[in-house]
Structure 1
Amino acid sequence: DVLPMVKYYIDQLGIYGLFSKYVKKPEQSPVDPAQILSVVVANIICASQPLYKVEQWAADYMDGLSEYGLNASMYNDDQIAKKLDCLFKADRNSFMCELSANAIGVYLLETRQIHNDSTSVTFTGEYENQHPGAVKLKYGFNKDHRPDCKQIVFGLNITADGNVPLSFELFDGNRTDDTTHVPNWNALREFLGESDFIYIADCKLCSQKNLDHIHEHGGIFITIVPKNRSEVKQFHEFLKTNSIEWQYAYETPNSRKKAETILYKTYEGEPSKNGYRIIWVHSSAKEKQDKSRRDNRIAKADLQLTELSSRLNQYNLKTKNRLKRQSRR
């Protein structure tokens, strides 16, 4: 049972108090939103349930939830839905900022490195009457491979120290990742009160506009150069005729194969055309993976050629067109 531990962290972070501060209680409501919302948080972490099942879950754990001052029947789906509406109307940005500040203060989190990533949250249904103040469910690049469904884009910032969520933001479903980084970095700079933290994100960060903005405002970034960039193609061509001296970086256990260790080596090449450092990384695990894929492709091609050869040798084929027709059979 993880409920006691979850309650401990809820208390440490002051979540109940923050709900009381930011979520207003409706005039005729018999229940404080903070009571309902705190239980919903506990339920999501302990045993995420549909809204209509939270009441039964609360009844099973009523002894552990008694300090919230309600009996289980008050945690019904109608009450929860109303309190979630209250949360929607609250200043959720200030709520999240204060919660993150509490986490940094209570657990002395190191905020020197911040990782950002985004994903799509998929919805089914029409959703024709969307709230004008909410993010828009739209069709976009769906990471669940469901282009037929509407979605929203969910962006998350976490600390490198403990992978603790620091802040998040929702975007319209058709928002592309590369356009989220400048406003996200600006918000982090304002929240942290400094600009020289290391901002780490995937290749969607690697646009001239994004990198120049962070650099010009005193920031530091780490990202991945997309494969289609000229710098990558030039480096691949360079490797064909030149040898380089890789420098040992570090090694770590392979999380998928416990008996193996992954060795990382680096090489600092020429800077990008915009003057940013490029460090090439060699992974022993990636090397094995690439070799395995090449071997499989060669074996597959060899098998196909063997099968093709047996068909072609049955005929006296002397022209290119006749060879093509026979190979397609």
Structure 2
Amino acid sequence: MAETPDLQVYDLGHLGLVAGILDRIGLVSLVDRRVGPRPGEKVSTGVALKAAVLNALGFLSSPLYLFGHFWEGKPTEWLLGKGITPDLLNDDRMGRMLDSLYAVGVTELFLEVAKEAHRAFAFPVRALHVDTTSFHVHGRYEGTGEEEAIRLVRGYSRDHRPDLRQWVMGLVCADTGGIP
């Protein structure tokens, strides 16, 4: 009787395609060059951002403390890199990633990523399409005395939760191919 190979099957959905696009853009290395390494980190800021982008395309309504659950049953090493496991993608790591991105300037970093995307995928751009969405957040957010990077305020809630603070995320896409 022939020996059956040990196979593992994963449902990637769109994640493999998006991970490949982020790799072609060079997102991880670009972010890691700008932010620099942190002593003892197992997941770089660039890898954490890549994980956040992939997560944002399918697990939107979950709180940050459930971030690692999104990755259970997914081939994290294949999508994010050798040695990356779901337990390393926790809310603490994601919070440090957000802090690091803020420290280097998110607007400037976004522009660098957009330039690299245009270099990697040379496509004509005649017009840009913009869309926004809002997310509600739970918890208590007190000012630190410094200028706030993100203002969490009450306002119109698409989730019908006017009692919760929220933030808005925008996406800009090119008219040719819908490339962000």
TM superposition shift of 1:144:
4.5
Q: Cα–Cα, structure 1 residues 4 and 163, in superposed 2: closer, same or farther, change >3 Å? A: closer
CA distance in 2: counterparts of 1:110 and 1:147, whole angstroms: 41
1:29 equivalenced with 2:4 (yes/no): no
Partner of 1:98: 112
Partner of 1:160: 175
CA distance in 1: counterparts of 2:76 and 2:161, whole angstroms: 40
SS at match of 1:163: coil
Q: Deviations over 1:273-326 (max 9, x none)?
A: xxxxxxxxxxxxxxxxxxxxxxxxxxxxxxxxxxxxxxxxxxxxxxxxxxxxxx
Cα RMSD, aligned residues only = 3.2
1:70-149 equivalent positions in 2, closer than 5 A:
70-72=83-85, 73-129=87-143, 132-149=147-164
Partner of 2:6: none
1:13 to 14, 25, 29: 25
TM superposition shift of 1:15:
0.9
How many residue pairs match? The answer is 163
Letter in 1 for 2:41: P
Q: Cα–Cα, structure 1 residues 42 and 149, in superposed 2: closer, same or farther, change >3 Å? A: closer
Instruction: Name the % identity.
Output: 25
TM-score (normalised: structure 1): 0.41
TM superposition shift of 1:55:
6.3
CA distance in 2: counterparts of 1:57 and 1:117, whole angstroms: 27
Return the structure number with greater strand share: 1
SS at match of 2:128: strand
SS at match of 1:158: strand
Q: Deviations over 1:212-253 (max 9, x none)?
A: xxxxxxxxxxxxxxxxxxxxxxxxxxxxxxxxxxxxxxxxxx
Conservation of the 8 A alpha-carbon contact between 1:22 and 1:91: no
TM-score (normalised: structure 2): 0.68
CA distance in 2: counterparts of 1:142 and 1:45, whole angstroms: 20
CA distance in 2: counterparts of 1:126 and 1:51, whole angstroms: 15
Q: Structure 2 stretches of 5 or more lacking a match?
A: 1-11
Conservation of the 8 A alpha-carbon contact between 1:43 and 1:54: no
Bigger RCO of structures 1 and 2 (CA < 8 A, at least 6 apart): 2
Conservation of the 8 A alpha-carbon contact between 1:51 and 1:80: no
